[in-house]
Amino acid sequence: MSSSFLPRRTVLQGALVAAVTAFNPVSRSWASEVQSGSIPLPTLDGQLLLDDATRTQAADDYGHIISRKPWAVLVPGSVQDIVKMVRFARANCLRIAGARGVGDDDESHSTLGQAQVAAGIVIDMSGLSRIRSIGATSAWVDAGVRWIQLLTATVPQGKSPPTLTDYLELSIGGTLSVGGIGGQAFRSGLQVDNVLELEVVTGRGELVCCSPLLNPTLFNAVRGGLGQFGIIVGARVRLVSVPPQARTFTATYTSLPAFLADQKKLDDDGRFDYVEGSVVTAADGTRTFQLEAVKYFAPASPPNNAALLAGLAFVPGSAQTADSSYLDFVNRLAPLVAFLKAQGLWGLPHPWINMFVPQACAAEFVRFVLDNTPPAEIGQDPVLLYAFRPPKITAPFVRVPEGAHAFLFALLRTANPGTPQNVAALMAKNQLFLDRLNQLGGKAYPVSQGPRTPAEWREHFGVRWLEFASLKRVFDPDNVLTPGQGIFP
């Protein structure tokens, strides 16, 4: 549990949790004693929080756009608590979903209520955040462990998960439920492609271990399964050896086709360990493209800068380098996030859009989006644009374009002012882009704006839809899990 949240909850526990012992399925309310018609609550190792402040926090997320208040928040004290509450929810027609955290400083990083549950139970996964063991090639963790927590433990041993998200405060269970992309994905695939075993509480309320060999159908369903088939409670995550230092190269491009071609080239020749890029908007509205490529190294054998930059078409003289420790590199967003929080910008609405764009139409589509995005609509917010390789992705329900290469293109908007009108206008613009992307064979990365209705999800999953829907009936037959995605409302 997050230390910032602990004291208030502890105070509340005695006052509220102890008083509630039953649920009345007819009046749909909690009761202080088991009366005729009410169902006793299971005995828990953790807490079921019913106070308004906690439920209000669980109705929020990083997006600050959608708000659905649950009836309760479970802070599990054990995996068995999740088993019991999923069974309880199933028996009483309640909905339930996992979330990275619940609290001002410990929130879900979804942007449109994907981890929220109206009239149901949110599981605050930060209650299960123990690193169970670290071995030579893998680590077993509770699903509520954050990536930074794991890295802080493994990097001193010279180990790291191969693919990391840019931001490391995300929960391992949360990113394994969506995909988990970063600048190493061109080489190692997504985070879902680097998990070796999972422990899952299915929508039937059964605790099941799964892997490519043991219960592979569940394993494949849950990786990138958007919380529809089970709550991930534990994961064995792949670790690789990493050198202690990282050299970051940045370089500017004025030509979009040249930038995209070099990204593809770097994915193919593998000279760097990490490749990302972004669109930069200058104060006068001029747009350029910035390559960000990183080579890990040991101090005794530093990288050869000239060899690494050879043959790339960036603007001559624009290349720069900076060295840091590996951990500081992968955790590079921490100072920026602290700054955004201090400025109050973290708490503004975030009508984000993350898109997977086919390589064949990348230049045309990026140009279309930029031509329709005046500088005032994106400000200094990051616009990510980098290549990855779809054939590296093994999780069937992570939908990406066909082809050897594709691009992540993300408009990470902050609505400022955060008025409903501004948010609505930016979301309408996002929808315009999504509609065009769909026509071109691209896919939304559903961590932000994307499919929201069953019909849109059916289109999103395409040839995988029938399999997705039939596995839902197998693993969550009463449709208990994760309604906030809008797939099976």
Ligand X SMILES: Cc1cc2nc3c(=O)[nH]c(=O)nc-3n(C[C@H](O)[C@H](O)[C@H](O)COP(=O)(O)OP(=O)(O)OC[C@H]3O[C@@H](n4cnc5c(N)ncnc54)[C@H](O)[C@@H]3O)c2cc1C
- Choose between 98 and 277: whose C-beta lies nearer to ligand X: 98
- Choose between 198 and 312: whose C-beta lies nearer to ligand X: 198
CA-CA distance, 143 to 235, in Å (whole number)? 6
* Residue 427 tokens, joined: 């979301």
Minimal CB distance to ligand X: which residue?
Answer: 174
Q: Site for ligand X (CB under 6 A): how many residues?
A: 34
**H or E stretch including 294?**
strand 287-297
The distance of closest approach from Cβ of residue 275 to ligand X in the complex, given in angstroms and rounded to an integer, is 14
- Choose between 127 and 303: whose C-beta lies nearer to ligand X: 127
User: Which residue among 100, 405, 429, 443 contacts ligand X (CB under 6 A)?
Assistant: 100
231 binds ligand X (CB under 6 A): yes
DSSP secondary-structure letter at 98?
A: E
- Choose between 22 and 333: whose C-beta lies nearer to ligand X: 333
User: Which residue among 2, 54, 160, 165 contacts ligand X (CB under 6 A)?
Assistant: 165
CA-CA distance, 423 to 7, in Å (whole number)? 34
Q: State the binding string over 356-395 for ligand X (x if CB under 6 A, else -).
A: ----------------------------------------
115 binds ligand X (CB under 6 A): yes
Instruction: Give SS3 for 55.
Output: helix
167 binds ligand X (CB under 6 A): yes
φ, ψ at 173 (rounded to 5°) = -65, -35
CA-CA distance, 355 to 436, in Å (whole number)? 11
Instruction: Provide CB contacts within 8 A for 387, sequence distance 6+.
Output: 186, 260, 263, 264, 266, 267, 275, 359, 405, 406, 407, 408
Q: State the binding string over 119-138 for ligand X (x if CB under 6 A, else -).
A: ------x-------------
CA-CA distance, 386 to 352, in Å (whole number)? 17
User: Which residue among 121, 426, 482, 483 contacts ligand X (CB under 6 A)?
Assistant: 482
Stretch that binds ligand X, among 226-234, 251-259, 285-293, 463-471 (CB under 6 A): 226-234
CA-CA distance, 184 to 199, in Å (whole number)? 25
- Choose between 100 and 159: whose C-beta lies nearer to ligand X: 100
CB atoms within 10 A of CB 76: 29
CA-CA distance, 440 to 457, in Å (whole number)? 17
182 binds ligand X (CB under 6 A): yes
290 binds ligand X (CB under 6 A): no
Q: State the binding string over 426-445 for ligand X (x if CB under 6 A, else -).
A: --------------------
* Residue 207 tokens, joined: 């605790």
Give the closest residue to 25 by CA, choosing from 88, 89, 92.
92
Instruction: Give SS3 for 306.
Output: helix
Give the closest residue to 166 by CA, choosing from 362, 443, 374, 352.
352
The distance of closest approach from Cβ of residue 296 to ligand X in the complex, given in angstroms and rounded to an integer, is 18
Q: State the binding string over 47-86 for ligand X (x if CB under 6 A, else -).
A: ---------------x------------------------
Q: Which ranges of 228-278 does DSSP label H, i.e. alpha helix?
A: 256-269
Stretch that binds ligand X, among 24-32, 105-113, 241-249, 298-306 (CB under 6 A): 105-113
- How much helix, strand and coil, in percent to the nearest 5, is found in the chain? 35, 25, 45
User: Which residue among 16, 49, 89, 232 contacts ligand X (CB under 6 A)?
Assistant: 232
Q: Which ranges of 193-311 does DSSP label H, i.e. alpha helix?
A: 216-222, 256-269, 305-309
414 binds ligand X (CB under 6 A): no
* Residue 367 tokens, joined: 């140009």
CA-CA distance, 107 to 484, in Å (whole number)? 15
User: Which residue among 57, 110, 126, 449 contacts ligand X (CB under 6 A)?
Assistant: 110
- Choose between 46 and 227: whose C-beta lies nearer to ligand X: 227
User: Which residue among 16, 59, 97, 366 contacts ligand X (CB under 6 A)?
Assistant: 97
Positive/negative CA dihedral, 426, 174, 328, 278: negative
The distance of closest approach from Cβ of residue 401 to ligand X in the complex, given in angstroms and rounded to an integer, is 16
175 binds ligand X (CB under 6 A): yes
Helix-then-strand count for the chain, H and E = 15, 22
User: Which residue among 99, 366, 393, 411 contacts ligand X (CB under 6 A)?
Assistant: 99
The distance of closest approach from Cβ of residue 14 to ligand X in the complex, given in angstroms and rounded to an integer, is 28
Q: Both ends of the chain: CA-CA distance in Å? A: 30
Residues that bind ligand X (CB under 6 A): 62, 97-100, 108-110, 114-115, 125, 143, 165-167, 170-171, 173-175, 177-182, 226-227, 231-232, 447, 482, 484-485
